[in-house]
A and B are shown apart, each in its own frame.
Chain A
Amino acid sequence: MSSPTGAGAAPAPRRVLAQTRFETRAILRNGEQLLITLILPVLLLVALVRTTVVGLTTDGATRVDVVAPGVLALAVMSTAFTSQAIATSFDRRNGVLRLLATTPLGRGGLLAGKVLGVLAVEVVQVVVLGGVALALGWQPDPSGIGAAVVAVLLGTAAFTSFALLLAGTLRAEAVLAIANLVLVVLAVAGGILVPAGALPGPLAAVASVLPSGALGEALRAALQDGVLAGGPLAVLAGWTVVLGALAARLFRWSS
């Protein structure tokens, strides 16, 4: 503790980068988070491709070509929504958001670090899931990779906004329950794994305007057919605007 004063802040990019690394490590090191973001999606991918327990209409495509984009969409949802909502709500309850906001990182840097942390985990997911899918014979359309990246970014924005809305307004225990429940319900009936059109009756219409259905649809269009699907992307953008505005208004930094 020699010379006392006038230290000053580290440059903003360095602060945000440090926070990104910190958040990424926190997710990848937490057993439950790892289970929902990586292990379950991998198991699901293998099970859906290798078994026919779940009937799929593939319209002539291979099973893996239909399943892989859906599992990627699910993985994005688990990281950007479920994992982020749970982590942020407990950070809020434990005062972590308050403490970090008193360092030069500030609230803006903290949020930026969280969002970039989500994207970093998604890169890990894409590498792992993509590798497994390729090994299972997946043949994505290379011309759709740009569209897929757009879909992942918009899906991440919509789901992270939703995560922050829950985490910043409800008790941590409630967020834990809701975030897991929503993940399961949307995985089964939200048009993310099974195309919305294949869902029974009115569910098909509902699922296609949910962020889950839109993300699944956009990724399947991109990676199966190399198409930039305007409709689903517009749905994701709409959810981002609405949920983001609500989160910005209602988010409370302390519990």
Chain B
Amino acid sequence: MKRYDGRAVVDGLDLVAERGAVTAVLGPNGAGKTTTVECCEGLRSPDGGRVRVLGLDPATRARDLRPRVGVMLQDGGLPTGARPLELLHHVAAMYARPVDVAALAERLGLGSFARTSVRRLSGGQRQRLALALAVVGRPELVFLDEPSAGMDPQARRAVWDLVGELRADGVAVVLTTHLMDEAESLADRVVVVDHGRVIAEGAVRELLRSHDDRTLRFSAAPGLTLTGLAASLGGGGVPPASGAHGEHAAGEHAVHEVTPGDYVVTGHVDPHVLAALTTWCAAHDVLPYAITVGRRTLESVFLDLTGRDLR
């Protein structure tokens, strides 16, 4: 737990990161992501609770943790007068067996601005340099606070590739982000935080599944008699309470005509359900002119979980 001005900004937040996996801490601005990771980095001290990083308390075992943990701060922390390549060499000198600096610089495209002072770099260039500094010492664990903020798509791709490689090398990667696509394509596990608490967590796939299934939409003649369709899609046929984002057990389906001629099937959707739908259509002499299976995105799950208000 961490309080600022008597207000708990992080409270009861459980976070477990595994080796060889990317854990994304996803949450809106002010959710407490930075506060949380900086408590893990030993840069802030929690007012309560227990933090263990690689089994050690960052407050008392900082010296043992520093060589093993790589950090990319949200606010950069780069000396403004330094030049990128020189700074990378400098930080590499703090470690016994740093990675090959030239190769790392090449990977992250630092060469094009290697001798420009940090002061004159763009946001995305600074981010790339900061990422290089976080990984140059071969850490076992890296904390990346909003790593791709301000990057163009090419740079973001390079960062994603590097993160993927770290994972393949067995590094535990913890990254914070408010970008859904980043969490969705990078993370093995997502921890959604808001107001300093975990409001959902799990593998991306699980999160997408548990927060409402895919939807199946079809368009056909308006005013179809839908009796029996829900049941034929898998039995049960008890419609879920409207507006709930709860789980649907396989076999519980509901069919609504949302606007005349547009029908939405909610519930578990898989190829069998699709086949059952077309079978029902054949039996009732209905020719749908469009059938789409929509997948929920992490973004819509996120907005449902955290609300749509700006903070």
Q: Which residues of A contact B130 (CB under 8 A)?
A: 99
Known: A5-B138, A102-B41, A106-B62. A18 touches B94 (CB 8 A): yes
Partner of B90, one of A5, A18, A91, A95: A18
Q: Which residues of B contact A204 (CB under 8 A)?
A: none
Complexed CA–CA distance, A108 and B73 (Å): 20
Interface size grouping (class) on chain A? 20 to 34
Instruction: Report the minimum CB–CB distance from A141 to chain B (whole Å).
Output: 39
A58 at the interface (CB under 8 A from B): no
Closest residue of chain A to B19 (Cβ to Cβ) is A5
Closest residue of chain B to A14 (Cβ to Cβ) is B93
B98 and A102 within 8 A (CB): no
B195 at the interface (CB under 8 A from A): no
A104 and B79 within 8 A (CB): no
Q: Which residues of B contact A30 (CB under 8 A)?
A: 81
Instruction: Report the minimum CB–CB distance from B163 to chain A (whole Å).
Output: 11
Instruction: Report the minimum CB–CB distance from A14 to chain B (whole Å).
Output: 7
Q: Which residues of A contact B93 (CB under 8 A)?
A: 10, 14-15, 18
Q: Which residues of B contact A106 (CB under 8 A)?
A: 62-63, 66
A102 and B42 within 8 A (CB): yes
B82 at the interface (CB under 8 A from A): yes
Instruction: Report the minimum CB–CB distance from B74 to chain A (whole Å).
Output: 9
Complexed CA–CA distance, A15 and B99 (Å): 17
A184 at the interface (CB under 8 A from B): no
Complexed CA–CA distance, A211 and B75 (Å): 37
A4 and B78 within 8 A (CB): no
B95 and A104 within 8 A (CB): yes
Partner of B99, one of A1, A6, A90: A1
B196 at the interface (CB under 8 A from A): no
Closest residue of chain B to A29 (Cβ to Cβ) is B81
A62 at the interface (CB under 8 A from B): no
B213 at the interface (CB under 8 A from A): no
Partner of A15, one of B73, B81, B94, B162: B94
Given contacts A9-B67, A18-B94, A106-B66, could you give 4 more A-B pairs where the C-beta distance is less than 8 Å?
Answer: A7-B97, A18-B90, A96-B77, A103-B91
Q: Which residues of B contact A (CB under 8 A)?
A: 41-43, 62-63, 66-69, 71, 73, 75-82, 90-91, 93-99, 104, 130, 133, 135, 137-140, 162, 165-166, 169-171
Q: Which residues of A contact B (CB under 8 A)?
A: 1-10, 14-15, 18-19, 22, 26, 29-30, 90-91, 94-106, 254
19 contacts between A and B (CB under 8 A): A4-B138, A4-B140, A4-B170, A5-B68, A5-B138, A5-B139, A6-B138, A8-B96, A9-B67, A10-B95, A94-B78, A94-B79, A97-B77, A99-B71, A102-B43, A103-B95, A104-B94, A105-B94, A106-B66
